[in-house]
Amino acid sequence: SKHRLDAVDVTETTCGYCSVGCRFDVYSKDDEVLGVRPTDAEHAPANDGFSTCVKGKFGYDFVNSDDRLEQPLIRENGVLREATWDAALERVATELSELTDEYGTDSIACFASSKCTNEENYLMQKFARQVLGTKNIDNCARLCHSSTVAALKQTVGYGAMTNRIEDVANTDCYLITGSNTTESHPVLATRIKQNVRDGADLIVFDPRKIGIAEHADQYTRVEPGHDVAWINGLIRYVIQHDLHDEAFIADNTHDFDELKRKVEPFTPDEVERLCGVDPADLASAAETIATADTCVFGWAMGMTQHAHGTQNVLALANLALVTGHLGKPNAGLSPFRGHNNVQGGGGDMGTLPSTLPGYQPLDDPAVLDAFEDVWDERPPAEVGLTVPEVFTEVHEGNVRGMYIMGENPALSEPDIGHAKDALEALEFLVVQDLFLTETAEHADVVLPAASFAEKSGTFTNTERRVQLVGQAVSPPDAARQDWSILQSLANRLGYEWSYESPAEIMDEISDLVPIYGGITHDRVAREGGLQWPCRDADDPGTPYLYEDGFNFEDGKARFVPADMGEPGELPGEEYPLTLTTGRVLYHFHTGTLTRRVNGIMSHVGESFVEIHPDTADQLGVSDGQNVRVESRRGSIVAAARVTDHADRGVVFMPMHFATGAVNELTQERFDPISGIPEYKISSVRISPDNA
């Protein structure tokens, strides 16, 4: 909703940074954003009246940045030049048609965007499947929680957080692992810290002594790469000491005996040998978790971004099932998602190569019929390529053109040297974005899009809550909302899309996607957000999942025992250190937005590498000194930060910077089930940089 206050416009909306989904009011005047303020608690279930974090509060300057793209660009004689919309759209339509005619529909790959609205992402996958007829549609969720989705679908049924943020704020106990919560999900961390102050137990297992560990009752440092060992070790301890929830297991699960057998080798001594966890720590964590009335299991990239990321999450799901912490308030499996709309736009809307919107299977003729009825075109029934597979297939000559909406793979892919070669090798690349990103620099056509403050629609936050996005200001000059750009292109390619608003697009989504069946913009506005599954107009939505059984026909969850794999790369003589990557509070992902906010850059303006004091001593490196970090893929320079946050032999770098870009170093090693890259482990060497 939008109203005027003392000649200033006030627009209620949802934060465009992370998936917590804080709500705030944007204050604007003469189409310029002046500031933001948290909205009333009753309209803000995620932040519940808590103040937004530094990104939400001060991170909106990019909206008014001088760097914004204001006109379409077309490459001519090697140079990107401003062009009219008519010329740019014509070029895109012509090039995509020619590629399709010459090499087939699957020669084109489309990347949707977890930053865009649900409505825009629904249209992106519709554009790919209906208009272009390609099976290749994916998005950056592949790089963050695809292993979570794969594991949770197999065990409990839905690839999503089982509970509410409200439950995270009120549980009796936490196991948080592989989540730098205070920096990546700050407002969620504020609510966790508040609950811990009120008496909840907090257990943190992590290779780095991160901010949330400072508040923990138990912090246990683990060596990176063998998480299945300590989680299976916890499960074994729980079962051996009769701390498992026998009644829950008997009534609600399959294959417990198989799990019991598979965790047997993970004795406390073996766990210590594999990942350095003290047996006393293992015992106390197992007892606290198993005897708590309620427990929330929270995790993020530290669990998922491994060559065996799906196994890590399977192990966590097994632990939650063994201890019966599911299907009730204040408990559950809580993957903390990344982007503002990765749950919705990156998953629910079907921007995935293996499922249609609402996770509906590609191989079900009845589902394909339903889409064909509405689209007058049958979606391709074959599974398409994942993001990393697309890059490989470009090198193989099987993908010739790409359409990238609001993503920056030139910085976010592992081994970006290889990814940039692929972007260059394409016959045609169109990028739709706010800025001339590192990816857009390789494009043949760049289409200027709108930021979260310049559009309306919905985002779905980490707790499956669909919330409204309100348009506060107009896009700059000729820039346009992503859904409207896609509609113009579809029209040019002969498809009569005629949506007048994102609300109309949502009506089509609710027709075709059963878990969104009862969601309309009017209801979301009236009811302050709706959590899926919300199947019809009378369905109030689902605050926590599995109260009445798991999402399988027989209502029972499956124990799928997790196998322990080795990391893709282990430290050795030539590259003796393990590099792990992650985030800092002030920045977001590849920094496209936050590197354009002066207040943020004045806090953290460049990349750095955290090194333990003993390791720094051995290397002859002092705090603040520039060091060269080299892997088998590349070599970069960054300032050393000497700190005991990281363990000896393990170094950490943030992923937000284009200079000293850490993905020059990371490896193209993928989880075989989900295709997620192993960003969390690369072998490197470090030396003082005397240049």
Report the distance separating Cα 145 and Cα 149, nearest Å: 6
Report the distance separating Cα 328 and Cα 547, nearest Å: 6
Question: Which of 10, 20, 390, 686: binder of ligand SF4 (CB under 6 A)?
Answer: 20
User: If binding is defined by CB under 6 A, does position 17 make contact with ligand SF4?
Assistant: yes
The nearer residue to ligand SF4, 480 or 589, going by C-beta atoms, is 589
Give the count of alpha carbons within 13 A of 489, CB side only: 28
Selected range binding ligand SF4 among 16-24, 266-274, 343-351, 450-458, rule: CB under 6 A: 16-24
CA 629, chain centre distance (Å): 27
The nearer residue to ligand SF4, 129 or 455, going by C-beta atoms, is 455
Minimum CB–partner distance for residue 12 and ligand SF4 (Å) = 14
The nearer residue to ligand SF4, 53 or 430, going by C-beta atoms, is 53
The nearer residue to ligand SF4, 187 or 640, going by C-beta atoms, is 187
The nearer residue to ligand SF4, 17 or 516, going by C-beta atoms, is 17
Cβ-based burial of 677 (10 A; exposed 0-12, middle 13-18, buried ≥19)? buried
Minimum CB–partner distance for residue 54 and ligand SF4 (Å) = 7
Note the helical H segments in 592-638: 598-601, 613-619
Contacts to ligand SF4 from residues 271-330, by CB under 6 A: none
Question: Which of 11, 12, 13, 15: binder of ligand SF4 (CB under 6 A)?
Answer: 15
CA angle 542, 320, 141 (to 5 degrees): 65
Report the distance separating Cα 99 and Cα 427, nearest Å: 8
Structure tokens at 249: 């297991």
Report the distance separating Cα 167 and Cα 464, nearest Å: 13
Minimum CB–partner distance for residue 68 and ligand SF4 (Å) = 20
Give the length of the chain. 691
Give the count of alpha carbons within 13 A of 585, CB side only: 18
User: If binding is defined by CB under 6 A, does position 53 make contact with ligand SF4?
Assistant: yes
Minimum CB–partner distance for residue 584 and ligand SF4 (Å) = 13
Report the distance separating Cα 430 and Cα 398, nearest Å: 17
The nearer residue to ligand SF4, 59 or 448, going by C-beta atoms, is 59
Structure tokens at 227: 């998480």
The nearer residue to ligand SF4, 185 or 221, going by C-beta atoms, is 185
Selected range binding ligand SF4 among 52-60, 169-177, 264-272, 358-366, rule: CB under 6 A: 52-60
Selected range binding ligand SF4 among 182-190, 307-315, 418-426, 657-665, rule: CB under 6 A: 182-190
Selected range binding ligand SF4 among 53-61, 105-113, 397-405, 482-490, rule: CB under 6 A: 53-61
Question: Which of 9, 11, 13, 21: binder of ligand SF4 (CB under 6 A)?
Answer: 21
Minimum CB–partner distance for residue 458 and ligand SF4 (Å) = 15
User: Residue with CB nearest ligand SF4?
Assistant: 56
Give the count of alpha carbons within 13 A of 210, CB side only: 27
The nearer residue to ligand SF4, 187 or 472, going by C-beta atoms, is 187
> Cβ–Cβ contacts within 10 Å for residue 48, how many?
17
Q: Please tell me whether the peptide bond between 38 and the residue prior to it is cis, using omega within 30 degrees of 0.
A: no
Minimum CB–partner distance for residue 56 and ligand SF4 (Å) = 2
The nearer residue to ligand SF4, 46 or 271, going by C-beta atoms, is 46
Selected range binding ligand SF4 among 18-26, 392-400, 446-454, 658-666, rule: CB under 6 A: 18-26
Assess contact for 287 and 279: CB atoms under 8 A: no
Question: Which of 10, 18, 231, 390: binder of ligand SF4 (CB under 6 A)?
Answer: 18
Report the distance separating Cα 21 and Cα 461, nearest Å: 5
> Cβ–Cβ contacts within 10 Å for residue 687, how many?
12
Please compute Rg for the chain using Cα positions.
24
Strand partners, 430: 403, 445
Minimum CB–partner distance for residue 17 and ligand SF4 (Å) = 3
Give the count of alpha carbons within 13 A of 12, CB side only: 16
The nearer residue to ligand SF4, 188 or 493, going by C-beta atoms, is 188
The nearer residue to ligand SF4, 55 or 193, going by C-beta atoms, is 55
Minimum CB–partner distance for residue 544 and ligand SF4 (Å) = 21
User: If binding is defined by CB under 6 A, does position 345 make contact with ligand SF4?
Assistant: no
**In 3D, which of 451, 461, 387, 513 has the Cα closest to residue 122?**
513
Contacts to ligand SF4 from residues 56-115, by CB under 6 A: 56
Q: What is the 3-state secondary structure (H, E, C) of 106-140?
A: HHEEEECCCCCCHHHHHHHHHHHHHHHCCCCEECH
Report the distance separating Cα 365 and Cα 371, nearest Å: 10
> Cβ–Cβ contacts within 10 Å for residue 644, how many?
13
Minimum CB–partner distance for residue 298 and ligand SF4 (Å) = 14
Report the distance separating Cα 388 and Cα 419, nearest Å: 9
User: If binding is defined by CB under 6 A, does position 187 make contact with ligand SF4?
Assistant: yes
Minimum CB–partner distance for residue 656 and ligand SF4 (Å) = 14
Selected range binding ligand SF4 among 15-23, 150-158, 265-273, 427-435, rule: CB under 6 A: 15-23
Selected range binding ligand SF4 among 49-57, 70-78, 355-363, 675-683, rule: CB under 6 A: 49-57
Give the count of alpha carbons within 13 A of 540, CB side only: 2
Selected range binding ligand SF4 among 51-59, 346-354, 380-388, 668-676, rule: CB under 6 A: 51-59
User: If binding is defined by CB under 6 A, does position 55 make contact with ligand SF4?
Assistant: yes
The nearer residue to ligand SF4, 15 or 128, going by C-beta atoms, is 15
Minimum CB–partner distance for residue 23 and ligand SF4 (Å) = 9
User: If binding is defined by CB under 6 A, does position 52 make contact with ligand SF4?
Assistant: yes
For residue 149, what are the contacts with CB-CB under 8 A and spacing of at least 6? Answer: 141, 159, 160, 347, 674
Minimum CB–partner distance for residue 390 and ligand SF4 (Å) = 29
What are the C-alpha distances in Å from 517 to residues 370, 500, 541, 615, 627?
14, 20, 10, 56, 54
User: If binding is defined by CB under 6 A, does position 36 make contact with ligand SF4?
Assistant: no
Selected range binding ligand SF4 among 19-27, 68-76, 396-404, 598-606, rule: CB under 6 A: 19-27
Give the count of alpha carbons within 13 A of 286, CB side only: 26
Selected range binding ligand SF4 among 13-21, 217-225, 296-304, 491-499, rule: CB under 6 A: 13-21
Q: What is the 3-state secondary structure (H, E, C) of 556-587?
A: CEECCCCCCCCCCCCCCCCCCEEEEEECCCCC
Binding residues for ligand SF4, how many (CB under 6 A)? 14
Residue 59: DSSP 8-state:
T
Selected range binding ligand SF4 among 46-54, 396-404, 511-519, 548-556, rule: CB under 6 A: 46-54
Binding site for ligand SF4 (CB under 6 A): 15, 17-18, 20-22, 47, 52-53, 55-56, 185-187
